[in-house]
Amino acid sequence: MKKKITVLPGDGIGPEVVNQALKVMKAVNYVYGHQFDCTTELIGACSIDATGSPITQDVITTCSKSDAIILGAVGDLKYDNNPGLAVRPEQGLLELRKSLELYANVRPIVTYELSNTCSPLKPEIIDGVDMVIIRELTGGLYFGKKHLSEDGQRATDLCVYTKDEINRVAKVAFELSMKRRKRLLLIDKANVLETSRLWRTCIEDMSRQYPQVEVDYMFVDNAAMQLMRNPRQFDVILTENMFGDIVSDQCSIITGSMGMLPSASIGKHSALFEPIHGSYPQAANKDIANPFAAILSVAMMYEHFELYEESELIKKSVEWALNEEFVTPDLNSTDHFSCSKVGDLVSLFIQENGEVRLNRDNLMLSGSII
């Protein structure tokens, strides 16, 4: 299969984790004979430094003409605590999501034996969690009209949703529920927000087309608590942009590390694949970042291309690395590997189609593995 991919490594640890994801992609394409042509472009703080803008129109056009986009992360400390700045790295990502109409953000939350031991939650609470958050990505507070009064005393962010915007993402969630346990939960704040009441109306209407799907509703404050108390009760969660941003970071506690959660943003045309973690500038260039979220995002890309065997092989290779404890410091603080070495090992496993025999002790001593 031939595909055109735009690679946006971005800022902080973005380039490091994306490099590992690309190694894995190369290994998969070697095994299955696919040809993916990659173009690397700028987004975020590095784009501001080079062009003055967090994303240029040229880059948006390149992305829109590609089959998929692989993104690392955007953000830099120098922008974080400076509210006066008019240009920010995150605007690049938001503009890209809006321009490509990437309205459905799919965030699977799956636990693994090793990463479970890193979670502050008890094993009996998190073992076997397997859910998916569908976060609306191009509406709500993120994109509503923003205003700061001239005297700087009053600010507004408008939360707007139309029925069309809700219905198209709801359809993704209902379809996914049909393929899973046929249970769908809408997280909202319908006891307070008008937009949330519109979401409920849309979901209730659509549920008539999916009589097999059991639909439930939960206020976001209660959901935040339930997600920590008993996450196994959830299967497919649908929610609006801001709530989805918050609850998905919260769910990384279940998987033991922010570095474990991949995501896919699906739109009308091309799709974007990125880890949910941020740019983590404090860890940049140290080769310590966990590459699994980026690697698993590439697995989601193959799934999107309907290359299911390839996607499964990547997931299997990550499970293998976790079982062998070929992991970065976030998952094992005393006995760990570098980000690039974990990428090498996962790629090797794929290239050898799971037939790889590595001696952990030798690996700890030697610099190279191949």
Judged by the rule CB under 6 A, the positions of this chain that interact with ligand IPM are 74-75, 90, 93-94, 245, 276
The single residue of 58, 221, 268, 308 carrying the catalytic annotation is 221
Torsion 81-260-98-143 (CA) sign: negative
CB closer to ligand IPM, 213 vs 276: 276
Residue 189: active-site member: yes
CA angle 245, 339, 131 (to 5 degrees): 35
CB closer to Mg ion, 11 vs 245: 245
CB of 323 to ligand IPM, least distance (A): 29
CB closer to ligand IPM, 43 vs 321: 43
Q: Which does 74 bind (CB under 5 to 8 A by kind): ligand IPM, Mg ion, none?
A: ligand IPM
CB closer to ligand IPM, 17 vs 307: 17
The single residue of 11, 67, 235, 245 carrying the catalytic annotation is 245
The single residue of 142, 161, 210, 280 carrying the catalytic annotation is 142
The single residue of 76, 188, 189, 330 carrying the catalytic annotation is 189
Q: Which residue is nearest to ligand IPM (CB)?
A: 90
CB closer to ligand IPM, 88 vs 304: 88
Note the residue count of the chain.
Answer: 370
Answer yes or no: are the C-beta atoms of 161 and 195 closer than 8 Å: yes
CB of 93 to ligand IPM, least distance (A): 5
Residues forming a β-bridge with 21: none
Q: Which does 90 bind (CB under 5 to 8 A by kind): ligand IPM, Mg ion, none?
A: ligand IPM
Interface positions, 225-254, toward Mg ion (CB under 5 A)? 245
148 burial via Cβ count (<10 Å: 0-12, 13-18, 19+): exposed
Residue 76: active-site member: no
Residue 221: active-site member: yes
CB of 263 to Mg ion, least distance (A): 9
Answer yes or no: are the C-beta atoms of 166 and 241 closer than 8 Å: no
d(C-alpha 329, C-alpha 315), whole Å: 20
CB of 9 to ligand IPM, least distance (A): 15
Taking CB atoms within 8 Å and a gap of at least 24, the contacts of 127-132 are: 128/232, 129/231, 129/232, 129/234, 129/254, 129/255, 130/235, 131/231, 131/234, 131/235, 131/236, 131/237, 131/251, 132/106, 132/107, 132/108, 132/176, 132/180, 132/235, 132/236, 132/237
96 burial via Cβ count (<10 Å: 0-12, 13-18, 19+): buried
CB of 75 to Mg ion, least distance (A): 10
CB closer to Mg ion, 139 vs 343: 139
364 is written with which tokens?
């700890």
Q: Which does 287 bind (CB under 5 to 8 A by kind): Mg ion, ligand IPM, none?
A: none
CA angle 158, 164, 166 (to 5 degrees): 65
Answer yes or no: are the C-beta atoms of 330 and 255 closer than 8 Å: no
d(C-alpha 165, C-alpha 40), whole Å: 31
H or E segment to which residue 153 belongs: none
Site string for Mg ion, 193-232 (x = CB under 5 A): ----------------------------------------
Give the interface size with Mg ion as a residue count (CB under 5 A): 1
The single residue of 32, 182, 217, 249 carrying the catalytic annotation is 249
Q: Any idea which residues carry the catalytic annotation? A: 142, 189, 221, 245, 249
